[in-house]
Amino acid sequence: MSRIDVILPVKNGERFLKAALDSLARQTFQDFRLLACDDGSTDSTGEILSGESRFPVLVVRHETSLGVAASLNALLEKSEGCTYIARFDGDDLCHPERFARQTTFLEAHPEIGIVGTGLEIIDSEGRVCERTIYPLSDAEIRTELMFRDPLAHPALMIRAHLLRDPLNRYDPAFGVTEDYELWCRLSSRVRFANLPDPLLRYRRHGASVGVNRRTQQEAQISIIRRSYVRGLSLSETSRELLLGALGLAPFPASFDSRDGARVLAELDRLFAPNFHSMHYRIRRADIGLALLVNSRGWSKLRLLLADGFLLQTYLERIIENRCGPWRRFLARRRMGRVASRIRKRIFRGGGDCEPSLRVYGYLPSADSMVLGRELIWEHGVSLWFSSPEQSAGRLEIGDHVFLGFNTRLNVYADITIGRQVLIGANTYITSSNHCYHSREMPIQCQGFVGASVRIDDDVWVGCNVVVLPGVHIGRGAVIGAGSVVTQDVPSFEVWGGVPARKIKDRPA
């Protein structure tokens, strides 16, 4: 028996199915079997599946389409003897290390029952459009279940014993959100995790469920969120107030400030390991401010006094709105002193840096920056550092690195630049992206996600280039002017375009 059963439901998937199977064949971990359900296809999907011989395949066929949930349940009935079950879709692509990385993680963390990964979103032509990193820890994932599905279904690996129980199956009543409903149902008995690296390429195209059935999906998500909140270990009053704060039910006509403070205290108890996480604090602030907006008179003041963190959040918003210019003036002076110290370090290393260097965000600590010798930084170079609560990003720059004018580095996760690297003017290198998962709060209030950026030795990056989170540019690569780099660039290749793609190899 194989250690992994890969379950794949597909209907009329001939366009992308061969590429999906090729990505499975390239897995470095080969002890797996594919269980595929041909859900009433009218094209050559069945023939493609039957013709696969590079790894074991079992095909279940439905004469008429029964839907994703029923197809998945049919495949689970056929699964036996494996240790893990991996999900996969017929229009996506697996990273070669996906199965190896997930099995290694589950073996090292026996307390985790379900592990997902980050995603690279690709279009119908296979071009990377964006990268998505989901909440990583169990506590963060449980928090996020109140708002959305924080697990990428086709990128999951699950301990097989969890799904052998007939009660732990997909509910066909939730035809486009069957995964979200199942995770919420399992959440009281299972611990979750996500790996930060994008180990699956998720294809977004006109035939995708998420494109064609958005209205139905949103209605089902509201039902699932309400059910999840009602299942949390909260008092009845706290549960009703939380539903109101999340916009899932009307607020009670009136409530005592002590009830509002109790909601937040009970959430802290449920998600205690997560309290110092910026992700949880943003979500908690969203709930607390919703409670505050719906409070009246003295009740609002008592709620603020009863919860120190909510009071701090509320005062920060007032200061930002009313005292922002003065606070920004002091921050600019402080960052100016930091920029001056960085320039002195560059001069001491035999390099040169224009006085226009700017530093933004939070003060970098002494061990968050390593600068090589003989650096040349032109006019208008700027650095941004995230707060320690958000991320402990580190900037490391090797010897003989040239940064052209108006180059910007956003340090959220690590940014590493090797030796003898040339970076042209107006280039933007970032290890962070804004979160945009909630529609209930502004994007600018949802914090950041990110992944490390690495540029190896002897790389030339042209002018007006954007390098996005998670990218690794190999040694000796060349990036053409005006490019947007969304995926890894192998060594000694020339890439260009939006998004950047290979143009040619460098001469030997």
Cis peptide before 9 (omega within 30 of 0): no
Residue 434 appears among annotated catalytic residues: yes
d(CA 22, CA 31): 16
Within 10 angstroms of residue 165's Cβ, the number of other Cβ atoms is 10
DSSP secondary structure code for residue 489 in this structure: B
> 242: how many CB neighbours lie within 10 A of its CB?
23
Q: How far apart are CA 203 and CA 437, in angstroms?
A: 18
- Contacts of 458 by beta carbon, 8 Å cutoff, 6+ apart: 418, 419, 420, 421, 475, 476
Distance CA 506, CA 478 (A): 8
CA 161 to CA 186: how far, in whole Å? 13
3 contact partners, CB below 8 Å, separation of at least 6: 31, 32, 82, 83, 84, 103
Among candidate residues 153, 161, 434, 472, the one labeled active-site is 434
Centroid of chain to Cα 45? 31
Contact 393, 414 (CB under 8 A): yes
**472: β partners:** 454
* Cα R_g (the chain), whole angstroms: 25
DSSP 128: E
Instruction: Reduce the DSSP state of residue 105 to 3 states and report it.
Output: helix
Contact indicator for 18, 48 with CB cutoff of 8 Å: yes
DSSP state letters, 26-69: T-S---EEEEEEEES-SSSHHHHHHT--SS-EEEEEESS---HH
Q: Hey, what are 459's tokens?
A: 């790389």
Active site residue ranges: 434
